[in-house]
């Protein structure tokens, strides 16, 4: 879903527009158990939705004297997790696309800021509406998300995002879990791929 917010003179001292590309669906399932169509559906919404929204409005944003493109990825775009390969792939792609776009705007000297939003667990219905591979308990996926992960209120998430956008940040981390993931991936690097499976095995 793409939102366009006009920026009046009281906010930015000049005319411009801010485009928010915020669409996402979740799919749970190991690679071996997932169908090609499962990956295609998640990529179509989570990644291509951002690309289409950006491409559709970027020419207008570039013509304004001060514009902003805001694309939503996920903490799963910083750290991959077993069982969520389709969602990970789409959100890593959104992050790469957005970071590349930000640099292109800088190289071209365009008055356009670009921000990648990285939410952790926000209390939305994404898990309840998630798709899942055969053998995956969808109700358990939703329950686990809502009880263990979704800690951030949507209103608070919106406030954090808008504050980061107003400051022109390249990346806006939403929620304490997103900040933890950011630190872990910076400190451990690829080694997190050994730590995370080990922790998951201990929980079983």
**Catalytic annotation, pick one of 60, 84, 87, 192:** 87
Of all helices (H) and strands (E), which one includes residue 118? strand 112-119
CA angle, 109 then 171 then 177, to 5°: 175
Strands 112-119 and 67-72: parallel
* 138, 127 Cβ separation under 8 angstroms: no
Instruction: Determine whether 60 is an active site residue.
Output: no
The CA distance from 143 to 197, in Å, is 20
Active site residues: 87
């Amino acid at each position: 879903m793409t939102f366009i917010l006009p920026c009046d003179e009281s906010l930015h001292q000049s005319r411009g527009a801010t485009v928010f590309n915020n669409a996402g669906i979740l799919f749970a399932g190991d690679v071996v158990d997932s169908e090609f169509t499962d990956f295609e559906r998640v990529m179509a919404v989570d990644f291509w939705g951002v690309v289409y929204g950006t491409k559709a409005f970027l020419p207008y944003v570039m013509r304004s004297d001060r514009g902003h493109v805001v694309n939503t990825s996920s903490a799963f775009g910083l750290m991959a997790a077993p069982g969520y390969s389709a969602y990970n792939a789409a959100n890593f792609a959104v992050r790469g696309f957005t970071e590349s776009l930000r640099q292109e705007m800088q190289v071209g000297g365009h008055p356009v800021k670009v921000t990648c939003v990285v939410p952790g667990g926000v209390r939305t219905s994404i898990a309840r509406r998630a798709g899942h591979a055969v053998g995956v308990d969808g109700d358990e996926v939703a329950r686990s998300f809502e009880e263990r992960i979704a800690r951030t209120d949507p209103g608070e998430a919106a406030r954090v995002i808008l504050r980061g956008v107003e400051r022109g940040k390249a990346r806006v981390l939403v929620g304490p879990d997103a900040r933890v993931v950011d630190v872990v991936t910076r400190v451990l690097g690829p080694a997190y791929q050994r730590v995370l499976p080990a922790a998951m095995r201990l929980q079983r």
